[in-house]
Structure 1
Amino acid sequence: MSSVASGSADGSHRRATVGVKQALREVDAQLALLNRQVGGRLGLKDVDMDCLDLINAHGPLSPGALARRAGLHAATMTGILDRLERAGWVSRERDPADRRAFLVRALRDRNAELLGHFAGMSAAVERICDDYPDTELERFTQFLHRIAEAGQTAARDLG
């Protein structure tokens, strides 16, 4: 057992852990609100924004791979991709490795428009990060990656 979680530190560690969980819920709620507002300005549904983010981060992807990453049914993904393609956010191209398959690619010329809506939040995060030394930021990054992995595992276990 780590020294943090043993002895008289039990109560304070538990309170700190509860504080982290509450703060993560607050961050989740605020980022969901921001995404919903940006999506509304762009005419995109929340799920469309989520899928566009996944395509930008991991693409190009096959529709099936995107559906798996998003935790969605393939038929649902077809509708999402139709909306994103009609709105000019993505293109579907033949997969050079398998001419029968398609890959979904984000249209990079639209990224500036998308990122512009998040500029205020991005600048705020930059200002907040300026208050911390690099070593702490590296720890925060590691912590957040571990939280993201835990969320991915929990979602997979529910599926």
Structure 2
Amino acid sequence: MSSASSGEARRRRRLASEIKDSLRELSNQLSLLNHQVGAHLDLKDVDLDCLELITRHGPMSPSIVARRAGLHPATMTGVLDRLQRGGWIVRERDPEAADRRAVTVRALRDRNAEVFQLYSGMNTTMDDLLADYSEADLELLADFIQRTTTAGQSATATLAEV
């Protein structure tokens, strides 16, 4: 290997390491932001996470929410009880289920404004930041983030199986 190509390889490894370090820092920072949002809404971190899953992907059964969140069904029952008491979700009978006791969980949109308001500072900052990128840059960033999310989902599923 030539010294130019070994230098390029070192630079590439260093940049890859910087990206992974930045992603860990971003994850930590978003976790702290979510914790603050949850505290303002009187929601535990896990409750806010599950509410986001239900809002984004619901309505769905409690078992699907538990699987997506990586939680034990008994833990999920407590989360859903708190979310329902807080007026964030509703449990409804699933008319299409073979088991007439089956329910789906649906987010109530009445309180979305509260959540959006708490994230508005971050959203405005992100809009300003993204305005500096070209359409091609944004496509590259979107692809990278989607692929990183998929990798995270895969790693989470693997650990959940252990």
Please state which band the TM-score falls in when normalised by the shorter chain.
over 0.9
- What is the deviation of 1:38? 0.7
User: For 1:42-86, what per-residue CA distance to the aligned partner results, in whole angstroms no more than 9, with x for missing partners?
Assistant: 100000010000001100010000000000000000000000000
The aligned counterpart of 1:66 is 65
Q: Secondary structure at the match of 2:122?
A: helix
| CA distance in structure 2 between the partners assigned to 1:90 and 1:133 by the alignment | 39
The aligned counterpart of 1:157 is 158
The aligned counterpart of 1:112 is 113
Unaligned runs of 5+ in 1: 1-5
| CA distance in structure 2 between the partners assigned to 1:134 and 1:26 by the alignment | 26
| CA distance in structure 1 between the partners assigned to 2:109 and 2:136 by the alignment | 33
RMSD over aligned Cα atoms: 1.0
Higher relative contact order (Cα pairs below 8 Å, separated by 6+ residues):
2
| CA distance in structure 2 between the partners assigned to 1:147 and 1:135 by the alignment | 18
The aligned counterpart of 1:39 is 38
The aligned counterpart of 2:140 is 139
The aligned counterpart of 2:96 is 97
The one-letter code of the counterpart of 2:158 is D
**How many residues are paired up?**
154
- What is the deviation of 1:158? 1.1
Percent identity of paired positions between Structure 1 and Structure 2: 53
| CA distance in structure 1 between the partners assigned to 2:47 and 2:148 by the alignment | 23
TM-score, length of structure 1 as denominator length: 0.94
The one-letter code of the counterpart of 1:16 is L
Unaligned runs of 5+ in 2: none
Q: Secondary structure at the match of 2:102?
A: strand
| CA distance in structure 1 between the partners assigned to 2:14 and 2:88 by the alignment | 44
| CA distance in structure 2 between the partners assigned to 1:139 and 1:63 by the alignment | 35
The one-letter code of the counterpart of 1:96 is P
- What is the deviation of 1:138? 1.0
Q: Secondary structure at the match of 1:61?
A: coil
| CA distance in structure 1 between the partners assigned to 2:116 and 2:157 by the alignment | 29
- What is the deviation of 1:113? 1.1
The aligned counterpart of 1:3 is none
The aligned counterpart of 1:17 is 16
| CA distance in structure 2 between the partners assigned to 1:96 and 1:109 by the alignment | 24
- What is the deviation of 1:7? 4.8
- What is the deviation of 1:94? 0.8
Query: Structure 1 segments of 4 or more deviating over 6 A?
Result: none
65-74 vs 96-105, which moves further: 96-105
